[in-house]
Amino acid sequence: MKFEDYNISYEVKKGLDALGFKKPTDIQFKSIPPILKGEDVLAIAQTGTGKTAAFAIPILSILQEYKKNQSRDDGVKCLVMVPTHELAIQISEVFNKLGKYTRVTTYALFGGVEQDPQIKELNEGVDILVATPGRMFDLVSQGYLRLHRINTLILDEADHMLDLGFIKDIEDLVKKLPKSRQTLFFSATINDYIKSLAYSLVKNAIRIQISPKDPVSKNVTHSVMFIEMDDKRFFLERIVNEHPESKILVFVRTKVRAERVKAAMARVAIESETIHGDKEQASRLEVMKKFANGEIKLLIATDVSARGIDIPGVEYVVNYDLPDVSENYVHRVGRTGRGFNKGVAISFCSEEEKPILEEIETFLAKPIQVIGMDKRDYNSTIEFTADVDNDWKKLLKDAEKEEYKPKKRK
Ligand code: ADP
Ligand code: MG
């Protein structure tokens, strides 16, 4: 079935057309009809399968039809809760693009910036608010934002939004919303505990959509290499040099390591940027923009930015360090292979990370393919580094060779 055959508003179809979206992805096919009917939905579908449009299309359509009979704005109708600023911006952009020909307005609300312009924007009339919890609650408690008109609550990255850090916020929020609302949950990963929490937040039976057996997107080929901690930089150097034109996203465990890997790459004349929680919001957005438009080819990130981010054309994801939380493996490798594109993910696993690898494999319910390497291959990667100053291993080896050379007598 094509979008043109859908029972959605003409203006949304025009938006879909402008984006070049012709037919729905699986999750869109399954969730659009129940959402249009007003049902509660819990949708689990792999990364990059178009979950944003799966809720944006029906919500925009409903609100567009509603607004046709409405002469004045009467408050926020739909609230989308997301974990990060980046995601708030990205999702509001999807609503704005799809809703370009509608009268529906969407606004992204997040902290770390002045609130006065946000209040002004809200006063001018916002139908769909995409928000992180902190700033939203600030504005509610100051009386600038009212939630009593909200018909639809959407939790994107739902398992994360219902997890320890956010659950209190969400429970408080739900108390302030009309009881008769529609609630939608979208995520690539979920567990039974979170599922029961989700059920506790809704009145009606939830429709469960696609629950993939393998949470890793089928568009992503992923494998692991066994590499010692101190050698990881040489292998990253090699991957970057072998794919000079590719956009590569590298995940590390900590902010400090992100900066260290950047410095290690700089020593071998490879340019990169970092993104992590210690960076100013403005500089995070700037870096993301440069990576999205290809000005930066190598981005080194902590998990902070993994969830939900849709960067065009990321061909490789490198897990320089394995993630501490197993489901983050799925979210990290899911930054490639998005939409109809294919992607490759490679994880570096050191001796001390082997227990983490085991946990991830248990979570995935299957082993990750191992890229085998004999000693010679391994050592040749290390020897080929352009890092002259730090190349003590090669120097030592050269020295050894020198020693064993039979000395010629004159
Ligand atoms: P998810 O939230 O499932 O990880 P996104 O909503 O971020 O995925 O979408 C992933 C990519 O797929 C985006 O780049 C989006 O533009 C593209 N996409 C979504 N729906 C369609 C469609 N129906 N046809 C073509 N591309 C689509
Ligand atoms: Mg998403």
Q: Which domains are present in the chain?
A: 3-209 (3.40.50.300), 220-395 (3.40.50.300)
Ligand 1: which residue has its CA nearest to atom 9? 50
Cα–chain center distance at 192: 22
Residues 59, 258: contact at Cβ < 8 Å? no
Ligand 1: which residue has its CA nearest to atom 4? 48
- pLDDT at residue 356, as a whole number: 98
26-46 in b/e form (b: 16+ CB < 10 A) is: ebbbbbbebbbeebbbbbbbb
Inter-axis angle of helices 51-68 and 85-98, to 10 degrees? 50
- pLDDT at residue 180, as a whole number: 92
**Cα distance between residue 64 and residue 54, in whole Å:** 16
Closest-lying ligand to the alpha carbon of 54?
1
Closest-lying ligand to the alpha carbon of 331?
1
Residues 28, 54: contact at Cβ < 8 Å? yes
How big is the chain, counted in residues? 410
DSSP letter for 378, please.
Answer: H
Environment class of 216 (CB within 10 Å of its CB; exposed 0-12, middle 13-18, buried 19+): buried
Q: Which of 70, 73, 64 is nearest to 9 (CA)?
A: 64
Residue to substitute in 2, 8, 12, 25 for testing ligand 1 pocket (most ligand atoms within 8 angstroms of CB): 25
Q: How far is the CA of 245 from the centre of ligand 2 (A)?
A: 26
- pLDDT at residue 409, as a whole number: 42
Ligand 1: which residue has its CA nearest to atom 1? 48
Q: How far is the CA of 81 from the centre of ligand 1 (A)?
A: 18
- pLDDT at residue 214, as a whole number: 87
Q: How far is the CA of 26 from the centre of ligand 1 (A)?
A: 11
Give CA separation, 284 vs 4, 93, 94, 308, in Å: 38, 17, 20, 15
Residue to substitute in 49, 86, 184 for testing ligand 1 pocket (most ligand atoms within 8 angstroms of CB): 49
Q: How far is the CA of 353 from the centre of ligand 1 (A)?
A: 33
pLDDT 10s digits, 41-77 = 999 999 999 999 999 999 999 999 999 888 777 899 9
Q: Which residues line ligand 1 (CB under 6 A)?
A: 21, 24-25, 28, 45, 47-53, 308, 310, 338-339
| Token reading at 102 | 């509608």
HSE at residue 253, side-chain half, CA atoms within 13 A, is: 12
Kindly report the CA angle at 185 between 182 and 187, in degrees rounded to 5?
165
pTM of the model: 0.90
Q: How far is the CA of 186 from the centre of ligand 2 (A)?
A: 8
| Token reading at 93 | 């952009």
For the chain of 410 residues, list the mean pLDDT of each consecutive stretch of 10.
94 97 94 95 93 98 92 89 94 98 97 94 96 94 95 95 90 93 94 89 78 86 96 96 96 95 96 89 89 96 86 96 95 95 97 97 95 90 77 56 47
Residue to substitute in 27, 310, 314, 331 for testing ligand 1 pocket (most ligand atoms within 8 angstroms of CB): 310
Residues 346, 239: contact at Cβ < 8 Å? yes
Residue 366, phi-psi category: left (phi > 0), alpha (psi -120 to 50), beta (remainder): beta
Give the CA dihedral 183, 188, 194, 199, nearest 10 degrees: 30
Q: How far is the CA of 50 from the centre of ligand 1 (A)?
A: 3
Q: Which residues, including other chains, have CB under 8 Å from residue 142's CB and lie 6 or more apart? A: none
Q: Which residues, including other chains, have CB under 8 Å from residue 146's CB and lie 6 or more apart? A: 75, 76, 140
- pLDDT at residue 408, as a whole number: 46
- pLDDT at residue 393, as a whole number: 57
Closest-lying ligand to the alpha carbon of 48?
1
- pLDDT at residue 385, as a whole number: 83
Ligand 1: which residue has its CA nearest to atom 12? 339
β-strand 207-208 against 128-131: which pairing, if any?
A: unpaired
Residues 150, 181: contact at Cβ < 8 Å? yes
Q: How far is the CA of 21 from the centre of ligand 1 (A)?
A: 9
